[in-house]
Amino acid sequence: MKHYSKADILSWERLFRTNLINGISGCKPTMLLGTSSSSGDYNLALFSSVVHVGANPPLLGVIMRPPVVDRHTLENIRQTGIFTMNHVHAGIVEQAHHTSAKYKRNVSEFEKAGLTAAFLDGFTAPYVAESKIRMGLQMVNEIPIPANGTLLIVGEVLHLYVSGNLIGEKGMIDMQEAEGLTVSGLNTYYTCNRFMELPFARPEENES
């Protein structure tokens, strides 16, 4: 067991630190956020800092970097108040990863990455047609994180789309059947293989 102090961590070369510290939070979701500007430019970007906030009302959070340079996703959410979250599965991971390249404001990452924008039920933010689990959200809180100037964007789920029979009778989503992926660090993807379902001991801290 090797020990690294905060001083060690801060002394590391930047990329090494970025890779390692992005890995210590454990398995992370792989989620494409779809947005539209008020003038109708679409944006699609990959995020892994996504977190469950609550089930009733249904709330998801995502950490965003401070808007010191162009942050199209954040700007679009501020303009329109809405966004979509779309699960990345094994069949679209290369396309999804490609959205992390930097494009100019008026370039659609959908087209560049080879993914299809879908507009559903009157919602004006684009969904990813190829995704099997998709949500349409309304931003309800934009919360500054003083420690490093990032933001926690909290969204309420207005629409949920799930393909096929991925939802079991008790409400569980089968992530293996969904070909769900998890990412460690910034660019290493792992498949999820069913290991164990344990008896439902309602957790004291973790439920909601």
By CB under 8 A, what part of segment 117-156 binds a second copy?
Answer: 120-121, 133, 135, 140-141, 143, 145-148, 150, 152, 154, 156
- Binding residue (CB under 8 A) for a second copy from 39, 40, 122, 205: 205
Closest CB 131 distance from a second copy, rounded Å: 10
Q: Is 108 in the site for a second copy (CB under 8 A)?
A: no
- Identify whether the C-beta of residue 92 lies closer than 8 Å to the C-beta of residue 105: no
Asked if 161 is part of the footprint of a second copy (rule: CB under 8 A), the reply reads yes
Q: Could you say whether residue 93 binds a second copy (CB under 8 A)? A: yes
8 A C-beta contact, residue 29 and residue 182? yes
Structure tokens at 76: 């679009």
C-alpha–C-alpha distance, residues 182 and 78, integer Å: 28
What tokens were used for 140?
Answer: 């309800």
**Taking CB under 8 A as the criterion, which residues in 72-91 touch a second copy?**
72-74, 87, 90
38 versus 70: smaller Cβ distance to a second copy:
70
Question: Would you count residue 107 as binding a second copy (CB under 8 A)?
Answer: no
Per CB under 8 A, 191 contacts a second copy: yes
Among 4, 11, 81, 106, binds a second copy (CB under 8 A): 4
Give, as ranges, the residues between 52 and 71 that touch a second copy (CB under 8 A): 52-61, 63-65, 70-71
CB of 132 to a second copy, least distance (A): 8
Residue 102 binds a second copy (CB under 8 A): yes
Residue 160, Cα to own-chain centre: how many angstroms?
Answer: 15
**DSSP codes, 121-172:** TT--SPEETT-SEEEEEEEEEEEEETTTTEEEEEEEEEEEEE-TT-B-TTS-
- Among 37, 41, 49, 119, which residue interacts with a second copy (rule: CB under 8 A)? 49
From the CB of 77, what's the least distance to a second copy, in Å?
Answer: 11
Size of the site for a second copy (CB under 8 A): 121
Residues 6+ apart with CB under 8 A from 185: 19, 20, 22, 23
Closest CA to 124 of 89, 79, 156: 79
* Inter-CA distances, 81 with 16, 85, 170, Å: 36, 14, 32
